Structure 1
Amino acid sequence: MVFIGNVGRGPLLAMINRILVCLDKSTYTDAAIDYACWLARHHDASLEGLVVLDVEGIERSVGAVPLGAMKFAKTGIAAKEENYHQLMETLLAKFSERCEAAGVRHMEFEMQGEPAEAILEESNYFDCVVVGLRTFFTYESGAGKDGEYGTADDEPGDSLEQIMKTTLAPVFAVPLNWKPDDHFSALIAHNGSPHSMRALRQFARLYGRTQVSVSLMHCTDAADQSPEMLGKSVGFLRAHGFANVEARTESGDIRDVMSADYCEPFDLVVLGAHGKSG
């Protein structure tokens, strides 16, 4: 899982109370719901499930309309909207059932419009956002030729990238097969920047009561820059109840260091939303 800390300047709360869960047609939504329920129980928070009807995407799927064929095009658009609306109702019903089974307070709602814009509009009124690591909110997105999500054939949208750029709320991007576990490991990429510090502080408040092993990692070619910053960061986390914290220094560009293989052993990867350096 990837946790992207926001870059806002508002005060940090001791806990979270209201979580936005973004639901799409993919099986990533199942993992997102599982994680959101786990997080809600951890913080005694409520969940709100959101689905977005991508009206513009449906209209684009019809393509150019020949002269005199507008009536048929409108009929086709209406049929696609109705089918998609039925899918949305199914997603909301599934979300409600899973929340009830988990004993979590919940609400459901739907919006129309460009998915990323709709999610961003709502996210500012929530303490955090939970979404799949790959997103399929747009009408054109899907599982690809093999019909299975989580493979190289996936045709995802870019809603997650757009949300990360501007949301004020922390974003949890959940991988396909996430399962709840009381013990897990986290990698925190840290360079001492305001964005990085913000992510570190949010991690501490969100996970302070869990049993997690933390690896603090700083990428730099100047070895003398790491010890003091990492030492203070380790002290900060331990003061918030994290007993198992290690610090490590890597050389090179962080985009090269944090490969899929490097991140694979960790259950959670923590990043500052707009960090560009080690």
Structure 2
Amino acid sequence: MTQRILVVLDPDSDTPVATDTAIDIARLTGGEVTGLAFVDKDSIGNDAAGGGIGSMYFAERLREQLTEETREKAKDLIAAFTARVEAQGVAHSGDRVGEGELVKSLLDEMRTHDLLVAGRESHFYYAEPERRTHTLGKVLQDAAAATLIVGTERPTVRRVAVAYDGSGPSARAMQKFAHLAPFGTDLDVEVVHVRGGSEADVLASDRLRQDAAAYLRAHGFERVTTTAIESSDPANRICELAQGDRADLVVSGAFAKKGFRKMLFGSSATKLLEQATVPLFLYH
């Protein structure tokens, strides 16, 4: 079960949704939440860098100003988070402002948490979409904990689609979801396999889906169905699945057989993160 939930905080509108989602999970599982806001000094230093010796003094002053402004904003975020959690009567611990290199700090925190909950529009104090996707990609690649990405609405999860292709990442994502059961086990779960059209593909798909369904049932998910989708573009079909109305949550491995590194750092990642209309449970 999910016992320790980390919420990454920033000024975007979906941070309250991430907080409320974490509260809902903690209340269901008896867990606790931790709020973490960042002062990313490396990014601030880059933004304030001067162009020459004559500008170094002003660059340093700007860096100090930006750091202090960001630190105060982070403290406000932590205060709002603490008030929101305590008002709901949910346990919390370790709420703090982290200072240092963003990705390393976040990965360090995730080593002692079961689940990271973050908003899809999380900017971590910067607004460049490519930089945001790159940061999230590195977190998904190396994190010990799973990541739940939410949107602008507090999710009610009753139907879950598990994207499963038999690969290590998809199997670990399914296992992590089954072990954590962040939304309980009283769910309608659909195991979805995107396959080719050959007879061998059909037979392999049947076996994969049967094995995955058996695993989920063994972990208390009683209402499990399976679906095979014929396509030569699995990544695109998973994106379509995350945009449709057949699931309230999509569970997926963070890397695919053909290299979800492209999906994390390229256009497919941006498409999945920006076009998904349901929350994403991702693990490597």
Shorter-normalised TM range: 0.7 to 0.9
**Pair 1:44-2:24 in alignment:** no
Q: By how many angstroms is 1:195 displaced?
A: 2.2
**Pair 1:56-2:42 in alignment:** yes
Q: Percent identity?
A: 29
**Pair 1:119-2:115 in alignment:** no
Greater helix share, 1 or 2? 2
For 2:71 and 2:97, the matched residues in 1 are separated by 10
- For 2:136, give the aligned amino acid: L
Q: Cα distance 1:238–1:264, how it changes in 2: closer, same or farther (>3 A)?
A: same
1:9 corresponds to? none
Q: Return the structure number with greater relative CO, CA threshold 8 A, min gap 6.
A: 1
For 1:64 and 1:173, the matched residues in 2 are separated by 36
Q: Cα distance 1:34–1:53, how it changes in 2: closer, same or farther (>3 A)?
A: same
SS of the counterpart of 1:157? Answer: helix
The residue correspondences of 1:17-28 to structure 2 (distance < 5 A) are: 17-28=3-14
1:237 corresponds to? 216
**Pair 1:273-2:254 in alignment:** yes
SS of the counterpart of 1:98? Answer: helix
Q: Give yes or no for contact 2:50–2:56 (8 Å, CA) kept in 1.
A: no
Q: Which of residues 158, 179, 188 in structure 2 aligns to 1:205? A: 179
SS of the counterpart of 1:20? Answer: strand
Q: Give yes or no for contact 1:45–1:105 (8 Å, CA) kept in 2.
A: yes
Which one is further off, 118-127 or 205-214?
Answer: 205-214
For 1:264 and 1:58, the matched residues in 2 are separated by 39
Q: Which of residues 90, 93, 100 in structure 1 aligns to 2:86? A: 100
**Pair 1:185-2:159 in alignment:** yes
Normalising by structure 2, report the TM-score: 0.81
- For 1:244, give the aligned amino acid: R
Q: Cα distance 1:262–1:26, how it changes in 2: closer, same or farther (>3 A)?
A: closer
Q: Deviations over 1:85-132 (max 9, x none)?
A: 111011101110111122111131111122122101221121221112
Normalising by structure 1, report the TM-score: 0.82
Q: Deviations over 1:27-74 (max 9, x none)?
A: 121111011111111111111111110112112222433332322222
Q: By how many angstroms is 1:155 displaced?
A: 7.4
- For 2:148, give the aligned amino acid: F
CA RMSD in angstroms, aligned pairs only: 2.2
Which one is further off, 61-70 or 25-34?
Answer: 61-70
For 2:240 and 2:146, the matched residues in 1 are separated by 22
For structure 1, which runs of at least 5 residues remain unmatched after alignment? 1-14, 143-153
Q: By how many angstroms is 1:23 displaced?
A: 0.9
Q: Which of residues 258, 261, 268 in structure 1 aligns to 2:238? A: 258
The residue correspondences of 1:154-169 to structure 2 (distance < 5 A) are: 157-158=132-133, 159-169=135-145
- For 1:267, give the aligned amino acid: D
2:278 corresponds to? none
Q: Give yes or no for contact 2:7–2:33 (8 Å, CA) kept in 1.
A: yes
For 1:213 and 1:128, the matched residues in 2 are separated by 21
Q: Cα distance 1:69–1:156, how it changes in 2: closer, same or farther (>3 A)?
A: closer
Q: Report how many residues are paired.
A: 250
